[in-house]
Structure 1
Amino acid sequence: LVVVYSASAFWSELKFQNPAYLLRSHLFKVLIGMVLIFVVAKFDYHKYEKYAFHLVVISAFLLLVAIGQRVIIKGAARWIHLGIFSFEPSEIARIAILFFTAAYLAQNAEKLHDYRNLTTPIVATAVIAGLIVLQPNFSTALMILAVVGVMFLAGGVRKTHFAALLGVALAIGAVVLVFESYRVHRIEMWMNHGAGNYQVRQSIIGFGNGGIFGVGPGNSRQRNLFLPESYGDFIYSIIGEEYGLWGSVLVLLMFLFIAFRGTAIAKRAPDRFGYLLATGITSAICFYAFVNAGVAIGLFPTTGLPMPFVSYGGTAMIINSFAVGILLNVSKQVPDLQEIQAVPVQPKQSKKLKVRSSEPVVGRIYS
């Protein structure tokens, strides 16, 4: 909240004559997110498995509505406007496809050795990613493919099949990439080390201003309209400027902690659905965070992806909070040490796991 206020105060003053305008909006969304985490953590995550396919269908419909409305903001039709509020359906779609992939892989664990049984999740992912590309939102589509890829590997898909799918995805991605000239331009600017990329150059200047210890909260110069999206996609640069190297590293360490805890929860999940769900949620949050940070320092091309729980934005905040609530519920159902010691651990099986999707397996540690 402090960083969002600092990054947005100057622009809010110019636009709304109130430096705290965006802060109040963001605070309201953060409060909704906190309540959502608490509420969702109370509900058994197995209940979502039944409705995974329905969520994908609804998400696809919402994406079509967004494309059909043609409300263009920053060059893309990514939003659905409903009177006093709006939301980004691609954020809903990425959590929906995560649910569906986890449910399908869990329910078909014994059949994944046959590549033909991967058709359903591949088609579902391709439809969602394709609709998101049409907005256009190429970077979000790539992140969805990356998370689904991790879930495929975690779910037991053969490495040869995964390699073939990866090759096809890269080939299609390359074609989609060169189809729009602005995407090619972004890659060219990135390969030229940011030459001509105003946002990245200003972002790096912000890190340079901050040095090791930073210029202090509220003292950023780059927020004064020098750095576009200073409270959104490039908020990590404001952190680096105001809190210095130590602040930047601390933020990344927090996401590393999320990665560590999420992985631990996944490995001790009571069933395959929980294992895959926790794996997907953890991957999604951490991928977004590290790609966002990489863009801010010029390590990756400009993507437009926010930093989870840090960047200003309502839909992303609410969806990420919902995901964390689910992760906490999976953690809540992890068997404690006494249960694990009381029930003999089943020997690790071969590639074919004979476990039903939601059948609790006390003491199993997934790897």
Structure 2
Amino acid sequence: MRRQADARGVPADIMMPRVLLVVASFLLVLVGLVMVFSASTVETISQGDSIFSYVGKQALFAVAGAIGAFIIAKFIPYHVWKGGLGFRLTWGVCALLLLAVPFVGTEILGAKRWILIGGFSLQPTEFAKIAIVLAAAKVLYDFRNEFTDTKQAIASSVVLVVLPVAFLYKTQSDMGSAAIILVGILTAMWLGEFPMKRLIPLVVVVGVVGVIGLAGYRSDRISVWLNPWDDGEGGYGTGYQMIRSFYAFAEGGIFGVGLGNSREKFLYLPEAETDFIFSIIGEELGLIGALFVIALFMVVLFAGLRIAHHAPDNFGCMMAGSLTVMLVAQAFLNMACATGLLPTTGKPLPFISSGGSSILASLFMVGLIMSVSVGSNTLTPHERRRNDLNVIRVDDQRPRARGASEDDKKNSRGGGLRSRAQRVRAAVPTRPSRGGRSANPARVSPSSRSERRSRDAVRAREERGRERTPRNGTKGREGVSERSRR
């Protein structure tokens, strides 16, 4: 049977992706802690801080994210995100944080995307993208199951999905986050079996809007991306960061210069511990280390999609699949920017880049995906009834001893008085009970009891009939006893 979860453990097709996801995420976090410590030591020394300041904060956020992921996966069913109080509260908080960024946000490196809370900088975009993708999955699920009509679905999608993405793109000029969110939404639409005749025109419209959005300073960034040495300052302007990233990969080669022996982290490569930490990985661990990180993200992609495949319903499939694809898409976007395959977007590498918001959001997404896997381990009422069926095989052709009684010989033939209930009870071994009597573990149905009572009544009548049958020409016991007295 496919699912024997309640009494016989978790099936392999559900447990295997779950284990792969947890192990790959743990290894990525571990790699991140090691590389953050290696890439940030020189910068912390130059700032007069402890060399453990960056990695200490990263470890603290990693522990908090792991605890949050465990709580989400274990105690919060994924059905909560279909539109209950949990979904409304999460979406509302994320929307308020996005609205607060333009007014109380802090500008870092020319971008106003952070809010300072208690000495920590929070980036609401990392959490808003989760809420927006969950909202897209909810709208598609309600529309597909006819909980809402077309007009209500369009209104919900505009309010819950389109407006937050447009506001994010307009106020924060964060095209990288908008692109990642769109990838998650399109994945949810694909898994939700959105009609292709409507999905293809929508993708075309999104592509046209994206091309139009490349006007202005983004076009200059693209020209620098195509030739970072031609940035107007001889490679020391906007193309400097990309050039130093190329140097890091060139110095690393196949096997790397060794863990902790990076040269670019000596304040040559800006943001070495955050956006360009993959460059430090390529320099210190070489091509082998870079491929190892890529392989771990591929394992996350495989495990997440397998969890989505075994989801109990379509909402769970859209939820796990879209979050998985969005998480891995951000990772490959960061690595593509570090290697020069795409223009710089400023998005962190999930699980690895230094930053509390990034690692918290990444681990929370793992917890949400795991909650779908935990929900897949619950048996439906039909599966429980199927598993409760027990089949007992009864062999009528049993070998009998040579000195069998006459009643046994009669019962062995088809016309005997031995009922089906007797044959079943004889086939099942008995075990002694506490009172010393033998107890049969097989439960006798009411129909079997009625058959036994009718059989006992028939045998009793036959016994009485044999006693009253005339013997030697006499009538009953009285004639026999009187003849014997004579």
TM-score above 0.5, yes or no: yes
Q: Does the 8 A contact of 1:125 with 1:145 survive in 2?
A: no
Is residue 157 of structure 1 aligned with residue 157 of structure 2? no
SS of corresponding position for 1:228 = coil
TM-score, normalising length: structure 2: 0.66
Aligned CA distance change for structure 1 residues 60 and 336 (closer, same or farther; 3 Å): closer
In the alignment, which of 333, 348, 365 is matched to residue 291 of structure 1?
333
Corresponding position of 1:129? 165
Report matched runs for 1:1-367 at 5 Å: 1-43=33-75, 44-49=77-82, 50=84, 51-110=86-145, 117-133=153-169, 134-178=171-215, 181-192=216-227, 195-196=230-231, 197-335=239-377
Partner Cα separation in structure 2 for residue 243 and residue 208 of structure 1? 12
Partner Cα separation in structure 2 for residue 194 and residue 333 of structure 1? 53
Q: Does the 8 A contact of 1:77 with 1:135 survive in 2?
A: yes
SS of corresponding position for 1:231 = coil
SS of corresponding position for 1:79 = strand
Cα distance, 1:193 vs. partner?
A: 6.3
Over aligned residues, Cα RMSD in angstroms? Answer: 2.4
AA aligned opposite 1:243: L
Partner Cα separation in structure 2 for residue 272 and residue 292 of structure 1? 30
Aligned CA distance change for structure 1 residues 127 and 194 (closer, same or farther; 3 Å): farther
Percent of residue pairs identical: 34
Cα deviations across residues 257-314 of structure 1 (Å, max 9, x unaligned)?
0000000000000111211110111011100111111111101110111110000010
Partner Cα separation in structure 2 for residue 106 and residue 338 of structure 1? 20
Aligned CA distance change for structure 1 residues 339 and 288 (closer, same or farther; 3 Å): farther
SS of corresponding position for 1:177 = coil
Cα deviations across residues 166-221 of structure 1 (Å, max 9, x unaligned)?
1222222223321xx32111111223367432111111111111111111110000
Gaps of 5+ in 1: 345-367
Gaps of 5+ in 2: 1-32, 232-238, 387-486
AA aligned opposite 1:45: Y
Cα deviations across residues 37-60 of structure 1 (Å, max 9, x unaligned)?
222221212123213344333322
Q: Does the 8 A contact of 1:274 with 1:330 survive in 2?
A: yes
Cα deviations across residues 124-158 of structure 1 (Å, max 9, x unaligned)?
32211122221121211111112111111111111
Q: Does the 8 A contact of 1:211 with 1:244 survive in 2?
A: yes
Rg comparison, structure with higher value: 2
Partner Cα separation in structure 2 for residue 302 and residue 316 of structure 1? 17
SS of corresponding position for 2:282 = helix
Partner Cα separation in structure 2 for residue 214 and residue 115 of structure 1? 56
Cα distance, 1:118 vs. partner?
A: 4.2
TM-score, normalising length: structure 1: 0.87
SS of corresponding position for 2:172 = coil
SS of corresponding position for 1:252 = helix
Partner Cα separation in structure 1 for residue 229 and residue 63 of structure 2? 37
Aligned CA distance change for structure 1 residues 313 and 85 (closer, same or farther; 3 Å): same
SS of corresponding position for 1:77 = strand
Q: Does the 8 A contact of 2:78 with 2:375 survive in 1?
A: no
Aligned CA distance change for structure 1 residues 194 and 146 (closer, same or farther; 3 Å): farther
Bigger CA drift: 318-327 or 214-223?
Answer: 318-327
Corresponding position of 1:357? none
Bigger CA drift: 282-291 or 47-56?
Answer: 47-56
AA aligned opposite 2:299: F
Partner Cα separation in structure 2 for residue 335 and residue 45 of structure 1? 13
Q: Does the 8 A contact of 1:288 with 1:307 survive in 2?
A: yes
Bigger CA drift: 129-138 or 3-12?
Answer: 129-138
Q: Does the 8 A contact of 2:228 with 2:240 survive in 1?
A: no
Cα distance, 1:341 vs. partner?
A: 8.2
Aligned CA distance change for structure 1 residues 267 and 194 (closer, same or farther; 3 Å): farther
Partner Cα separation in structure 2 for residue 257 and residue 343 of structure 1? 36
SS of corresponding position for 1:78 = strand
AA aligned opposite 1:46: H
Q: Does the 8 A contact of 1:194 with 1:200 survive in 2?
A: no
